[in-house]
Amino acid sequence: MVFAAPNEALARAEELLAADPSPLHASVAHQVIGIWQRDFGDTRLALAHLRRARDQASRADSPEREADVLATLGVALVHSGRTREGLAAFERGVARGSGHTRARVLFRRAYVWWVLGRHGEALEDVRRAIPVLRQADDVIWTARALTLRATVHLALGSVERADADFSAAERLWDTTGQEHDKADAVESRGLAAFRSGDVPAALRLLDEAEERYAKLGTPTFMLTIRRCEVLMAAGLATEALAEADAATAALDGIGGQSTRRAELLLVAARAARLADEPRTSLARAALAVRLFAGQRRTWYETHARLVLLEARVATGRASGRLVADAAAVAERLAAFGAPAAPEASLLAGRIALGLGWTADAERHLAVAARSRHGGPPLARMTGWAAQALRARAAGSARGVLEACRRGLDVLDDHRMTLGASELRARATAQGAELAALAQEASLVSGGPRRLLVWSERWRATVLTAPPTRPPADPALLSGMTAFREIAARAEEARTDGGRPVPALEREQRRLEREIRSRTLHMRGGAPGDGDRFDVGRLLRRLGDDVRLVELAVLDGRVQVLLCGQGRVRRFEAGLLAEAEREAEHVQAGLRRLAHPGAEARLPLVEAAGARLQELLLGPAAAHLGSGPVVVVPPGRLHRVPWALLPALRERVLSVSPSASSWLRASDTAPPPGGRQVLVRGPGLASGGAEVTELAERYGAAGAPGRATPGGATPDATTPGAPGTGAYRGPVARTEGTPGRTDETPDPADGTPGRTGRGFGPADGYGVPGGGAGALDRPVPRPSVLEGDAARVPRVLRELDGAALAHIAAHGTFRADSPLFSSLRMADGPLIVHDLERLDRSPYRIILSCCDTARFASVGADELLGLVTALLPLGTAGVVACSAPVNDAAVVPLMLTLHKGLDAGLSLAEALRDARAALPGDAVHQATGWAFSAFGAA
């Protein structure tokens, strides 16, 4: 009962002791309390009760009872760090017990051998125990023994053997009521899924196990360790570090097991290293090494030493002594059969290369490179990284590129098993070294074209395929609805009272965790080669007029790859770090200019734009020609307002995460029907006035304050927003627009072929080349979603498959969790996870709100945010904003932008003209610079 219903077992044991039981029964009661305290409470109390249980068993003159208690005591002693005493207790237990009891003792000693990392001894003891347990028809203990043997097999890298044992144990658990052990089986299956490379399944199973443990009130320290391992493999190292540190604090708070504390410190050290916090890693790893050494846990101590060495190298302490230490760790790990052995050999080789010890480096790297042909994906990538370093040391650029290609292919296959775009993006960090080595080799020997190919090979790869759509999971949909409601209530409370409401914010964070957890469980599609980037195709598409400027970063310096006129040229610009600092200064200036009275800062911001141009374009600025320009920046420069750079200020300018992404956008066809949607969220300072004016101008199929999908006739007398005039719908208009009618074009309107029915060409809403002839076909009138109609479910239905959407709503960027970046609707936030549920996002989308073009730079060179969520889902062009802007100044910019689209211009062309038409004051100029056109529509 102590595992199936721990709290009930504890209460029953205490009740029994209060009744002055016999020594035999008292021994059982003290043992139960000792187990409860050992696993769920204070190990010091556990040891006291277990010693009393042993003494009572001796008084009862029951060797079998005494043997059983000695086994439990041995486990507790080892977990408290007293390994020698624990093993001695097992020796006495094995000697005192016989038959069935001895088999149970051997099983628990096998568990202790596993804790100590002595896998050979563990397999031997469990091999002796299982036949006896089976013969005694002891279903529960047989299932436990099989689960343990599977776990040991996993530690040794034998996934198939582990799977067989887990399956056999699960069949046995199905016949019992042992809920704790059933939860443990689910946890173990999660570990097996992780070892086989299935990260989404591992996260799903570990979350299921956590739910089961929570119902039992069971602490989950071991589960936390395993979950942190999976999070690190998924690229979520910062999250893993936070979870490990929180679990360590909780364990210390209850006086928990010393062995678990050491394991948590080790996983925290690994997470800190991957999160680029080497000093934190150093501190955690050093403490873990001391604890493992005191506990005589050599296997774990050696793994901790590997992390300690990696942290020392990361803090700049490379030396000949570290080469020897890393080689010694590699040898010990290899002797254990540990999968981490190649990592240690790679570390030794990398340090030796840095010291110029080429012979030593070759020896260690050759050992590490053996792992490239087998094992889980990350182990194979370690091997290919070692092979690439060997080739570089030998002066073989071809060898470097081949090793990098093979390694990144492994990473691509791994990424495509991940359904969540966040996991795909973050997983690319594991290929950063390979990509950097390839670019370095390309720069030295391959020329600009090859450098462009390798820059594209690892840039914005998450956008190469749509993310897996979130499942039609009722719990997920319910959670998202609840999240919106809570977020809306929290926002309302902050607006009304000016102060946050802790209870609402706690519930909002809980729902965010639940939503994120469920989306991380999604599996991706089958691995595939996808479309390989073709430089020739790019140059043909660019032609002679358009220039594409791709910025690569090598050794901290910006390399400008200028594509156009059938060739690729390379120019060297400034330092990336300096450009990042200048971009932050520009962002601060734009924030100030969004408010009247900051006109004096305008010359300073313009001067900063000139400095940015020198740092980012260098001499390439003089070779841009006179035509349109597409800028492809690295992720760390996503906040640059490119229209501020003098050479780009008067141009047709668009931005793309990659050249491949721009090509896909240019190939994307608009949906049939030309359906358009106008959305206005609550709380805008301008009242979203451009939406009302656009609805009036084009006779939209929805009056302000209500929504009627295309074709429905609104009430002709519904008023518009204050100051915008009365809305008259699709009836003839005489006030304010000369000659405009519902049915007929009017040449006097200034736009050939303009009608009162819509914005432009029927099949693309102003697609370049649409021309006046396209306007002869009727265009559906836009649907307007405002007020209570602008609720997330309705907005998503209207957006799905639209030709154009214009959304005026407050935008919020979440740097801590970019996929919870949102647009504020009537019923709460519309988040990136919502957009990923669309079958096809709008062909063109205009986001006339602050911070919609902000991204989190993650992985190797990936971006997460609102815009990048739309691009893989069918959106070919986006206009969005990278800074806070003045709401009132946005209105004329947006109206002029739509006028250009109505005339058949692209988003980039219309945005250029809209900027030029703005008043020359600082507020309007800053507003124009803050908006960018993304994509190719």
Q: Tell which wins on pLDDT, 19 or 422.
A: 19
Q: What is the mean pLDDT of residues 873-902?
A: 88
Q: Is the per-residue pLDDT at 259 higher than 60? A: yes
Please give the pLDDT value at position 859: 59
- DSSP structure string for 779-814: -PPPEEE-GGG--HHHHHHHHTT-SEEEEE--EE--
Residue 261: what residue type? R
Helices 199-216, 502-520: crossing angle, 10 deg rounding = 130
| Closest to 186 (Cα-Cα) out of 169, 161, 200, 198 | 169
- Which token pair is 236? 């979520």
Please give the pLDDT value at position 772: 34
Cβ contact 522:468 at 8 Å: yes
Per-residue confidence band for 500, with pLDDT thresholds at 50, 70 and 90: low
In degrees, rounded to 5, the angle at the alpha carbon of residue 30 between the alpha carbons of residues 29 and 31 is 90
Cβ contact 426:234 at 8 Å: yes
> For residue 730, what are the contacts with CB-CB under 8 A and spacing of at least 6?
699, 701, 713, 742, 756, 757, 781
Please give the pLDDT value at position 872: 76
Q: What is the mean pLDDT of residues 317-322?
A: 85
Distance from C-alpha of 504 to C-alpha of 494, rounded to nearest angstrom: 11
Percent of the chain with pLDDT over 90: 44
Rounded mean pLDDT of the chain? 82
Distance from C-alpha of 109 to C-alpha of 68, rounded to nearest angstrom: 11
Per-residue confidence band for 483, with pLDDT thresholds at 50, 70 and 90: confident
Which pTM does this prediction carry? 0.71
> For residue 620, what are the contacts with CB-CB under 8 A and spacing of at least 6?
549, 560, 562, 569, 571, 573
Q: Is the per-residue pLDDT at 11 higher than 90? A: yes
Please give the pLDDT value at position 469: 59
Q: Is the dihedral of CA 270, 271, 275, 280 positive or negative?
A: negative
Please give the pLDDT value at position 762: 29
Q: Tell which wins on pLDDT, 40 or 55.
A: 55
- Which token pair is 823? 């647009």
Give whichever of 322-336, 737-751, 767-781 has the largest mean pLDDT: 322-336
Per-residue confidence band for 42, with pLDDT thresholds at 50, 70 and 90: confident
Give whichever of 249-253, 713-717, 831-835 has the largest mean pLDDT: 249-253
Q: What is the mean pLDDT of residues 247-268?
A: 90
Distance from C-alpha of 602 to C-alpha of 646, rounded to nearest angstrom: 14
Please give the pLDDT value at position 761: 30
Distance from C-alpha of 421 to C-alpha of 444, rounded to nearest angstrom: 34
- DSSP structure string for 561-585: EEEETTEEEEEEEEEHHHHHHHHHH
Q: What is the pairing mode between strands 822-825 and 811-812? A: antiparallel
Distance from C-alpha of 58 to C-alpha of 343, rounded to nearest angstrom: 50
Give whichever of 221-230, 523-532, 592-601 has the largest mean pLDDT: 221-230
Percent of the chain with pLDDT over 70: 83
- What values do phi and psi take at 560, rounded to 5? -95, 120
Q: What is the pairing mode between strands 783-785 and 653-655? A: unpaired
- Which token pair is 769? 């080349």
Please give the pLDDT value at position 771: 36
Q: Is the per-residue pLDDT at 527 higher than 50? A: no
Cβ contact 634:609 at 8 Å: no
Please give the pLDDT value at position 715: 33
Q: Is the per-residue pLDDT at 128 higher than 90? A: yes
Please give the pLDDT value at position 729: 31
Work out the number of other CB atoms within 10 angstroms of the CB of residue 208: 16
Q: What is the pairing mode between strands 856-858 and 844-847? A: unpaired
DSSP 738: T
Q: What is the mean pLDDT of residues 20-45?
A: 90
Q: What is the mean pLDDT of residues 561-587?
A: 93
Decide: residue 728, CB within 10 A, 0-12 exposed, 13-18 middle, 19+ buried.
buried
Please give the pLDDT value at position 719: 30
| Closest to 573 (Cα-Cα) out of 615, 519, 518 | 615
Per-residue confidence band for 748, with pLDDT thresholds at 50, 70 and 90: very low
Q: Is the per-residue pLDDT at 467 higher than 80? A: no
Distance from C-alpha of 130 to C-alpha of 142, rounded to nearest angstrom: 6
> For residue 69, what are the contacts with CB-CB under 8 A and spacing of at least 6?
27, 31, 50, 53, 54, 57
| Mean pLDDT lowest among 44-53, 194-203, 409-418, 785-794 | 409-418
Please give the pLDDT value at position 80: 84
Alpha-helical runs (H) found in 521-632: 535-542, 576-593, 602-616
Q: What is the pLDDT of residues 790-834, one digit of tens each?
A: 999 999 999 999 999 999 888 777 766 767 778 889 888 888 878
Q: Is the per-residue pLDDT at 855 higher than 60? A: no
Q: What is the mean pLDDT of residues 6-34?
A: 93
Per-residue confidence band for 188, with pLDDT thresholds at 50, 70 and 90: confident
Q: Tell which wins on pLDDT, 586 or 705.
A: 586
Q: Tell which wins on pLDDT, 499 or 647.
A: 647
Give whichever of 186-195, 235-244, 527-536, 612-621 has the largest mean pLDDT: 612-621
Q: What is the mean pLDDT of residues 167-187?
A: 86
Please, what is the end-to-end C-alpha distance for the chain in angstroms?
66
> For residue 687, what are the contacts with CB-CB under 8 A and spacing of at least 6?
680, 721, 722
